[in-house]
Amino acid sequence: MIRPHGSDELNPLYIQDSNRRKALLEEAAGLPSLTVSSAAAANAVMLGSGYFNPLTGFMDRSDALATADSMHTKAGLFFPIPILNVVPDGSVIGKAKRIALRDPNVPGNPILAIQTVMDVEEFSSDEMERMTGKIFRTQDPNHPGVAAFNSSGKTCISGPIEVLNFSYFESDFPETFRTAYQIRAEMSALGWEKVVAFQTRNPMHRAHEELCRMAYEAVKADGILIHMLLGKLKAGDIPADVRDACIRKMVELYFPPKTVLITGYGFDMLYAGPREAVLHAVFRQNSGCTHLIVGRDHAGVGSYYGPFDAQAIFHDEVPKEALEIEIFEADHTAWSKRLNKVVMMRDHPDHKKEDYVFLSGTKVREMLSQGQPLPVEFSRPEVAEILMHYYQSQAVLT
């Protein structure tokens, strides 16, 4: 199985020893505490899960700036996005050397992790603007990732962390949430060595299903990891439980047994396009995957990125030796009326737009809300039925 990023062994920061975890929770009760942002909480979950290997905690100001500028820390570690605990006001922790981090996403704000404080520093407005531009390639406050990144404050608290739980992800998604080390164990038990990963924050229609199958066959993989984001999304995106139900139904009915692992990870979507695609590659390598599908508009939003910018960054900006995982570059996939199957559009230059079945997101939502079935060429009927129930329930609420 492929090595983790940056080390020979995976180093998840979750404290697995129950006695040690109990002792740390007792210690945390007497420490200054801080309710962190949702982004910082998600970073802690990802660090605890081993997805952000080999990081040992939150970056300091100079590492964050170096990572934003060059995708490398000061010490030369390749990492595509700063991993931060940023707050509006650092004075609340005083001169404490250890602090308890409280979860903003769980009622009662329970303790999520303990952080050893190495430094408390301020980003200037210019530095925040510089990082925003590098990470998101835009300063537009209407970009959901830009808005979230700039809403947490400018005070950077750096240092290693010990993670004590996985926030709401384990309890809300017990069948789906998996850490990187759990995924490695499951793939090892199945005897998988070559694995292709598919990233999703949406339900999977026929095009997504066939794309996974195409990549699986093209690289002669042992299995497919469908890895869905379970954290916070922008308004209008379909909730994780609905996506989960759709994907499970599709896999149950249309994939051979023991060829697909359906899993999810606890992170808030950045919508950072190319930089987020590289982050996806890092944590899929840490999960043991050998290939990641990067398709059209991967991790994008609106018209902030070109359709294949997330592929181009691997050629233009990621050093060849930086990652061991390979990228499966996918074109737009759609049902060909002429061939009666889903195809990659780049493979069929003889086709015209009218030769494909296309539906806009707006049209899909409109049809489902009105109880109209989607074309079978676009969506499996069993998947469409789950989505129809969801949209009609939303219509009743409004």
Known catalytic residues are 201-202
Task: Look at the block and give the residue holding tokens 């759709």.
Answer: 246
Name the H helices within 83-173: 125-136, 144-149, 169-172
Look at residue 138 and give its three-state secondary structure. coil
Residues 384 and 358 sit within 8 Å (Cβ to Cβ): no
What are the beta bridge partners of residue 114?
100, 162
Residue type, 338: R
Residues 330 and 293 sit within 8 Å (Cβ to Cβ): yes
CA 7, 160, 52, 68 dihedral sign is: negative
For residues 24 and 101, give the distance between their C-alpha atoms in angstroms, rounded to a whole number.
Answer: 12
Concatenating the DSSP letter of every residue in 203-254 gives ---HHHHHHHHHHHHHTT-SEEEEEEE-S---TTSPPHHHHHHHHHHHHHHH
For residues 196 and 221, give the distance between their C-alpha atoms in angstroms, rounded to a whole number.
Answer: 7
For residues 356 and 337, give the distance between their C-alpha atoms in angstroms, rounded to a whole number.
Answer: 6
For residues 271 and 32, give the distance between their C-alpha atoms in angstroms, rounded to a whole number.
Answer: 33
Name the H helices within the chain: 18-28, 38-49, 61-70, 125-136, 144-149, 169-172, 180-190, 206-218, 240-254, 274-286, 309-316, 361-369, 381-397
